[in-house]
Every structure is written in C-alpha cells, then in structure tokens.
Amino acid sequence: MSENNILITGCAGFIGSHVTDEFLSSGYKVVGYDSFTYAGKESNLTNARTFGERFSLVRGCITDKPLLLETIKKNNIKWIVNLAAETHVDNSIASCDVFINTNIIGTKTILDICRETGCLLFHFSTDEVYGVSPIGLPFREVDALNPRNPYSATKAAADHMVLAYNNTFGTKYIIVRPSNNFGTRQHSEKFIPTILRSLSSGKKIPIYGRGEQIREWTSVEETAKAVVHILEHSPINEIYNITSGMYMKNIDVVKQICKISDLSFEDSVEFVQDRLGHDFRYAVSSSKLQKLGYFVSVDFESQVRKVIENDFGCLRHKT
C-alpha cells in the first residue's frame, strides 16, 4: 500500500467532489469511484481532472465487489474514503430500497474488501444518526444513535456495521458525522439550492410547516479540509463530528438568502405541508475535532454568495 494512494467513492457527488479536490490539493494520488446516479455529475470533477495523472476515475457501484476489489489492488490503495450514499430524506420516505442497497449493502461490501485487503476505511456518516437533539445538548460522538427516518436509519446501520467489523475482524476505521453541508455543486433537491432555484426562476420558495426546524450549517469546503486534517492527524478507530456550531432555523436561512439577493421574503415564499417525521433540531458538538487541532470556520454569507456566483448566474446582478 502507498501512504498517499486513496480511493474516494462517490467522488462525483457534492461533498465527494470537494473532498476529492482537497486531497488532490494536499498532494495525494486519488482514484475516484462513482456510479453516476442522478446526484453525480461529470462537471463536478472539472477541477480534479486538472491534476493529471494524480487523478483517475472508475465508473462503478460500491456493491460491485469484483470491480471495486480489482481497482483497489491495481492502484495500491491504502485508504478507502467512502462517500457513496443515497442522502435525500424525502426520497427515502417515498421508497427506501435503494438506500438499503447503497448505504448498508454497499458499506458491507467495502468492509469485506477492507477485511480482505487490509485497507483502512474512512467512512462518511451524518449528524442525523443521532436523531433530535434537546435544546442546549449537542450530541457527542459517544452518544447513542436514534435515527428517525429511513435515510438516517440506513446510515446508522452502516455505522454499526463499521463498528461491528472492527470488533469482530479488527477492521480499522475512522467515521465522520458532518452537520448540514452547503456550497457549490450541491444537488438541486437540497434546501439551499431549492431556495436559489426558486428565486432564480421567479417561483415561490417552499417552506415545510412554519420553517421552525433548526439545523447546523457547515461549508462543504470546511468539511473537506477537516477530513484531510482528521485522516492525517487522528489515531485509528475514532469518530468525529464535523460542524460549525452555527444554528439557524430554516425560515431564517430563507430570510438571509432573500436579503443577500435583494428580494422580498414575503413575496418569495409559500408554506407547504410538513414532511412526514420531520426532525425539529439537529445539533452536534465538534469539541473532539477541535482537540485534534481543527476549528471549522463560519462565514455563511460569503459562502452563499459563492454558490450564487458559481451555480446561479441569473441572480448575480442582485448580489
């Protein structure tokens, strides 16, 4: 195994492409692996391709064990950074079959390969595995998991599989649980792209319920930097929350983006029926990550402006 050879699954997705860019910028040789579902885009890899021979791409699903195993052996991979996942809660409520296949069976496939090859696993989870957080009590990495929708249940199951393989077979891992990410390249189904897409097309922004749900918001670029820091500085077999500590109600996110875009909030929104089982508040502590030496920066407005500039050109004249 080469210290600098890593394989990133889900490399063409939103967070995956930013993580790929950050590892390449940090001097690693990256093999990207992606099945290019609706959430993966070739355009997300534009920057990665500028690194020449240090980036290569394999098209495949993480449940395809023979292809994944061949790729890992051929490229002398030390770390598998697993970002391949189905992530949209609404889709999991409509049907969770693909979530079970990708998030659980796919993770199990990767774990079997790690067991067979000795590769180390850097696994992406989510803050949603903890469930709803009592006000004032952000979850720590040692807290019990209590997922409350089909998406987060499959991610929690994957976390348990990683820990079980470590206990049973000695598989070595690091798990990260990021809070809500936002930034350039994010799929249109997510909350902030939905806001900006609605504004750019002159349509009303749909807000679930009264918009009182509380989330933590973290720049995807900060998440990518934190990941590289964790991989380079953390002991093996650890779990880290990645979050900015910036809490905002959904309705306040909309208000701030309307203000940034110089548009009327009252004229730009409509309230719609709330999502089934919609969790009220997510909150996690990043104190463990800070003890490792990484502090997530918070600059919501400038990051939103970057999204508008890069992904929503028709709003540029308003910013």
Digit-coded pLDDT (tens) for 19-30? 999 999 999 999
Give the Cα separation of 308 and 190 in Å (integer).
Answer: 15
128 catalytic, yes or no?
yes
33 catalytic, yes or no?
no
**Mean pLDDT for the chain overall:** 93
Residue 286 lies in a domain: no
**Number of domain units in the chain:** 2
Is residue 128 domain-shared with residue 261, that is, in the same domain? no
Is residue 53 domain-shared with residue 92, that is, in the same domain? yes
Residue 288 lies in a domain: no
Is residue 209 domain-shared with residue 173, that is, in the same domain? no
Q: Are 16 and 10 in contact (CB under 8 A)?
A: yes
Of 86, 127, 222, 311, the active-site residue reads 127
**DSSP secondary structure letter of residue 100:** I
Residue 289 lies in a domain: no
Give the Cα separation of 309 and 319 in Å (integer).
Answer: 9
Is residue 37 domain-shared with residue 126, that is, in the same domain? yes
Q: What's the confidence (pLDDT) of residue 1?
A: 63
pLDDT tens-digit series, residues 79-106: 999 999 998 888 898 989 999 999 999 9
Residue 126 in this model has a pLDDT that exceeds 80: yes
Is residue 252 domain-shared with residue 142, that is, in the same domain? no
Residue 49 lies in a domain: yes
Q: What's the confidence (pLDDT) of residue 319?
A: 45
Domain of residue 173 covers 5-182+220-242
Helix (H, G, I), strand (E, B) or coil at 40: coil
Residue 78 lies in a domain: yes
Residue 128 lies in a domain: yes
Is residue 24 domain-shared with residue 69, that is, in the same domain? yes
Helix (H, G, I), strand (E, B) or coil at 47: coil
Is residue 38 domain-shared with residue 142, that is, in the same domain? yes
Is residue 196 domain-shared with residue 53, that is, in the same domain? no
Give the Cα separation of 109 and 107 in Å (integer).
Answer: 5
Is residue 118 domain-shared with residue 24, that is, in the same domain? yes
Residue 287 lies in a domain: no
- Check the CA dihedral 142-143-145-148 and report its sign: negative
Instruction: For residue 262, give the CATH number of its domain.
Output: 3.90.25.10
Residue 229 lies in a domain: yes
pLDDT (mean) for 174-181: 96
- Check the CA dihedral 72-68-190-179 and report its sign: negative
Of 22, 34, 86, 128, the active-site residue reads 128
Read off the tokens for 56. 């290569």
Of 151, 173, 282, 294, the active-site residue reads 151
CB atoms within 10 A of CB 272: 12
Q: What's the confidence (pLDDT) of residue 195?
A: 92
Instruction: For residue 13, give the CATH number of its domain.
Output: 3.40.50.720
- Please, what is the end-to-end C-alpha distance for the chain in angstroms? 48
Is residue 10 domain-shared with residue 91, that is, in the same domain? yes
Q: Are 183 and 18 in contact (CB under 8 A)?
A: yes
Is residue 136 domain-shared with residue 199, that is, in the same domain? no
Is residue 149 domain-shared with residue 257, that is, in the same domain? no
